[in-house]
Amino acid sequence: MNDSSPIPRRSVLYMPGANERALEKAKTIPADALILDLEDSVAPDSKTVARERVCAAVGSGHYGRKELIIRVNGLDTGWFADDIAAASTAGPAGILVPKVSSVADVQVVEAAMEQGGAPDHTRIWAMVETPRGMLHCEEIANASERLTVLVMGTNDLAKELQCAHVPGREPLLPGLGLCLLAARATGRVIIDGVYNDVQDAAGFADECRQGHQLGFDGKTLIHPSQVDPCNRIWAPTETDVMEARAMIEAFEHALAEGHGVAVRNGRMIEHLHVAEARRTLAFHEVITRG
């Protein structure tokens, strides 16, 4: 979140597009963003009805301040063309495309959105979930001004790598690191992958903390029970906010006395620390506004 008015994307919850009850329930779930899914959670014979329900949900105006994202089926499927056309007409905040692995993939998506009349506010969200995609992540992120968010597809990446799902995610860290570097180098938002065991609250919290420490802007979720702990972990604590304010105050006092740096509690404070403190306060203000 390099923006001066950051958009909270701490919790990004997948909701099955064919499930009418789930779409209704999603209105009351305190996730920052919802991914209304047409892909993995929807059976082949339900794709058409899911598309209709998701587009109607986007146009309903009943989801408050939540960002609404439509995940379409992949470019290599027979559903992609109809999905992208309908999603472009619906005009959600973003269209999430799975298995984006090249600049050419982004260009196909962008052209289809323009042909479908997607409004300017509808951005491309790209799922990066293949070894090729991760190796070319910086090129993908820079392929279009419409592309603003990278989403990690950690389940598919693990499958492609033939690696184990283990606590700490050591086999996935090289790929995740490449994507984090690409996101920060290009000014894109980056969202961590899902945690599969919805009954393992401790393991989920550990992975959220890891993702936050690594620098992800938030995490994709598969169950409403994961939203509250995710929101808490990605929100600045009261101590964080107090320290940020004190740091800015100390630095401004030092500047007023003609110094270029300040010292607080034995630690040197420079411009970069103040910029981070201001980002913390801006994010805190946005999420406390609700």
Q: What is the pLDDT of residue 290?
A: 67
Give the residue from 188, 214, 234 where a domain finishes.
234
Cα–Cα distances (Å) from 159 to 43, 153, 154, 162, 194, in that order, read 21, 10, 9, 5, 14
Q: Whose CA is closest to 42, among 67, 22, 63?
A: 22
Cβ–Cβ < 8 Å for 4, 282 = yes
Question: What's the whole-number mean pLDDT along residues 173-188?
Answer: 98
In this structure, are 172 and 56 located in the same domain?
yes
Rg (Cα) of the chain, in Å, rounded? 20
First-last CA distance in the chain: 17
Q: Which residues contact 39 (CB under 8 A, 6 or more apart)?
A: 71, 72, 73, 74, 98
Q: What is the pLDDT of residue 92?
A: 98
CA–CA distance, 188 with 10 (Å, rounded to integer): 15
The answer to the question of residue 281 being in a domain is: yes
In this structure, are 204 and 264 located in the same domain?
no
Q: Whose CA is closest to 172, among 162, 185, 186, 182?
A: 162
Give the residue from 218, 234, 250 where a domain finishes.
234
The answer to the question of residue 5 being in a domain is: no
In this structure, are 102 and 136 located in the same domain?
yes
For residue 266, give its domain range: 238-289
In this structure, are 104 and 214 located in the same domain?
yes
Q: pLDDT tens for residues 62-100?
A: 999 999 999 999 999 999 999 999 999 999 999 999 999
CA–CA distance, 24 with 128 (Å, rounded to integer): 29
In this structure, are 271 and 151 located in the same domain?
no
Q: pLDDT tens for residues 111-121?
A: 999 999 999 99
The answer to the question of residue 4 being in a domain is: no
**Mean pLDDT computed over every residue of the chain:** 95
Cβ–Cβ < 8 Å for 236, 8 = no
The answer to the question of residue 156 being in a domain is: yes
- Does residue 288 have a pLDDT over 70? yes
Which range, of 41-45, 148-152, 262-266, averages the lowest pLDDT?
262-266
The answer to the question of residue 43 being in a domain is: yes
Q: What is the pLDDT of residue 266?
A: 82
- Does residue 56 have a pLDDT over 50? yes
Q: What is the pLDDT of residue 3?
A: 40
Q: What is the pTM of this model?
A: 0.92
Cα–Cα distances (Å) from 138 to 7, 75, 118, 177, 192, in that order, read 22, 20, 24, 12, 16
pLDDT tier for residue 267 given thresholds of 50, 70 and 90: confident
The answer to the question of residue 249 being in a domain is: yes
Give the residue from 216, 234, 252 where a domain finishes.
234
In this structure, are 148 and 109 located in the same domain?
yes
In this structure, are 197 and 253 located in the same domain?
no
Q: Which long-range contacts (CB under 8 A, 24 or more apart) does 198-201 make?
A: 198/222, 198/223, 198/225, 198/226, 201/225, 201/229
In this structure, are 127 and 245 located in the same domain?
no
The answer to the question of residue 3 being in a domain is: no
The answer to the question of residue 1 being in a domain is: no
Cβ–Cβ < 8 Å for 48, 68 = no
In this structure, are 250 and 155 located in the same domain?
no
In this structure, are 261 and 140 located in the same domain?
no
CATH number at residue 205: 3.20.20.60
pLDDT tier for residue 218 given thresholds of 50, 70 and 90: very high
Which range, of 143-147, 180-184, 267-271, averages the lowest pLDDT?
267-271
In this structure, are 249 and 268 located in the same domain?
yes
Q: Which percentage of the chain shows pLDDT scores above 90?
A: 82
In this structure, are 143 and 279 located in the same domain?
no
Q: Greater confidence, 258 or 26? A: 26
Total number of domains in the chain: 2
